[in-house]
Chain A
Amino acid sequence: MFNYSISKRKPTKRQVNEWFWGWFFIAPTIVGLIILNLIPIIQTMYLSFFRTGAFGRGNVFIGFDNYVRLFNDAQVWRATANTLLYTGLVIPISISISLVIAVLLNEKIFARTTYRTIYFIPMIAAPAAVTMVWKWLYNREFGLLNYLMDWLGLGRVDWINNPNVALISIVIIGIWSIIGYNVVLMLAGLQEIPKDYYEASVIDGAGPVSKFFHITIPLLSPTLFFITVTTIIQSMQVFDFIYMMIDVASPAYDNTVSLVYLFYNNSFKYGERGYGSAIVMLLLAIIMIITVLQMKAQKKWVNYR
């Protein structure tokens, strides 16, 4: 709060007073984070070396056995592939669509705030409720989508239970529900771009496409970077849509189960918390690697003014 000269002198009474206020203010959050997050991280790591004891028997230390099992478990690999595929589809598609919408809404067009309000609505609804209505739209016999497919002469699709289609159906829900969030953040970023940049480019004879790629994208890149990093982390943790849509007994389960869904089933359905912990450690490792790579790539394409 004050400019103290850095010295080894005995702290003044005022400084000590400030220390105590500082510690007092951070105490609830730090104590809370240690109990709620820090100890759990260590505990999860620790649990991943144990086999969960059944019927009140204690956990058995098994060293790296959970990790060995993890690497030999075809389902874990499928879940990793599904999670990566889900993220790899949702993020680029949703960001591209959102970018087009945000650029259009950034113009002075009629009813722009109304559009913004509407596009954001899917963000407000609980994923559990949203998935229920999508499941109904996707219903094989009576769903509206298959009615449309019939009407268009395309033939019915088993959106939920066909192993080759189910993940796409979930990706569609994922894209649909995230567009509004991206648009809102992008609009905030677009508003920061000074208008004279565009005016100058028009004088230089730039068309709309050239303006988009040479002004909008580079100047919006910090926002795009933020959106990419945060939405990838979120997508890697996809659970709600899949949990609500695909039952463990569904023929499409193996082709849709995500790492978090697998973690949930192992930890809380099959009571194998040790193995569940190993799965979540794998997820942590993957997210860390992706985030570090993005931080490295950031220097290549993000412009901070």
Chain B
Amino acid sequence: MNSTRKKLYKSIAIHTFLIIGAFIMVFPFIWMVLTAFKTVTESTSMNPFVFFPSEWRWENFATVLEQNNFIRLYYNTLAMMFWRVVCGVMFSAMAAFAFARLTFPGRDFFFGLVLFQMMVPVQIFIIPQYLMVDALGMRNTIFALVFPGLVSAFGTFLLRQFFMQLPKELEEAAILDGANIGQIFLHIMLPLVRSGLIALGIFTALFAFKDLMWPLIINSEPNSAVLASALARIQGAYSIHYPQLMAAAVLAIWPMLAVYLVFQRKFIEGISTSGGKL
């Protein structure tokens, strides 16, 4: 009896702690949404303090949508994420397969090159990458946004770990059946590292979505910006109208948040497998 009561207290204490933590994690988002529906007066009234908006007004969203081409921003952001995921995952999978399963001259040297680039802070690439895109006359394009993410040293390293775990007999059997290396890669190996491909895809998409500095530098025109860099500009423009700023922030994060809540298991698996694999 005494021990069950002790257990109950313990469980109450743990949940209280975890609920407070969870509340701190989500509160800024709740506050963002609540403020987005308020008038300026409501948002700044401290005495008496207004927690909920008196009614759910969409005006702030309407204003922000009217003054900023969000359709364009969604499109740019999505296009950047899409092409970075496609190119990053495809090229990384190819290279990772070769590094993990094939023998060829220069393999260790080239893999060393990949490893070396994982240890360098990305800012070191930015000025030359900017100069290259500028020289091509490609600033303010989708290509410019995708450019630094065309290939991925991190992705190559990550997927190599997945390929290395597969048993050797797989290829030997396929060779006996007369398959060539390209076919083995496409039909046998790729399906077996699916979880790795998904993990890398999620990782790449998430980091592309969150990237601020590169889009800020390379696509400085409002119509070629992405959500993150547009927020920086919007903050400068409406610096004190917090309800409108919060409406813009809500518009910028809800698609990713919705995708996360639907596929949260995949996200978390993706992050934890990639962490465990490195």
Q: Which residues of A contact B (CB under 8 A)?
A: 1-2, 4, 15, 17-23, 25-26, 28-30, 32-41, 43-44, 47, 101, 104-105, 107, 109-110, 115-130, 132-134, 136-137, 139, 141-142, 144, 147, 150, 176, 179-181, 184-185, 187-189, 223, 226-227, 230, 233, 236-237, 239-240, 243-244, 260, 263-264, 267-268, 273, 276-277, 280-281, 283-284, 287-288, 291
Question: CB distance A260 to B123 under 8 Å?
Answer: yes
Confirm or deny: B242 has a beta carbon within 8 angstroms of a beta carbon on chain A: yes
Query: In the bound complex, what is the Cα–Cα distance between A132 and B232 (angstroms)?
Result: 9
When A133-B28, A273-B127 are in contact, do A127 and B46 touch as well, CB less than 8 Å? no
Q: Which residues of B contact A (CB under 8 A)?
A: 11, 14-15, 17-18, 21-22, 24-26, 28-29, 31-32, 35, 43-44, 46, 49, 91-92, 94-95, 97-99, 101-107, 110, 113-114, 117, 119-132, 147-148, 150-153, 156, 171-172, 180-182, 185, 206, 209-210, 212-213, 217, 227-229, 231-232, 235, 242, 245-246, 248-249, 252-253, 256-257, 260-261, 264, 267-268, 271-273, 275-276, 278
Query: In the bound complex, what is the Cα–Cα distance between A110 and B8 (angstroms)?
Result: 12
Pick from A119, A126, A181: contact of B271, CB below 8 A.
Answer: A181
Question: CB distance B124 to A41 under 8 Å?
Answer: yes
Question: CB distance A21 to B181 under 8 Å?
Answer: yes
The closest CB in chain B to the CB of A22 belongs to B104
Q: In the complex, which residues of chain B have a beta carbon less than 8 angstroms from the beta carbon of A115?
A: 18, 22
Question: CB distance B212 to A121 under 8 Å?
Answer: no
Pick from A4, A34, A38, A244: contact of B232, CB below 8 A.
Answer: A244
Query: In the bound complex, what is the Cα–Cα distance between A287 and B123 (angstroms)?
Result: 12
Q: In the complex, which residues of chain A have a beta carbon less than 8 angstroms from the beta carbon of B181?
A: 1, 17-18, 21
When A36-B147, A139-B242, A284-B121 are in contact, do A29 and B249 touch as well, CB less than 8 Å? no
Question: CB distance A136 to B242 under 8 Å?
Answer: yes
Pick from A28, A44, A263: contact of B95, CB below 8 A.
Answer: A28
Question: CB distance A4 to B271 under 8 Å?
Answer: no
Pick from B17, B92, B272: contact of A185, CB below 8 A.
Answer: B272
Listed by A's residue number, 23 A-B pairs whose Cβ atoms lie within 8 Å are A1-B102, A21-B180, A25-B102, A29-B151, A39-B128, A44-B125, A118-B22, A119-B25, A121-B260, A123-B271, A125-B29, A126-B256, A127-B228, A129-B249, A132-B32, A132-B245, A137-B28, A223-B275, A239-B213, A244-B231, A264-B213, A268-B217, A284-B124
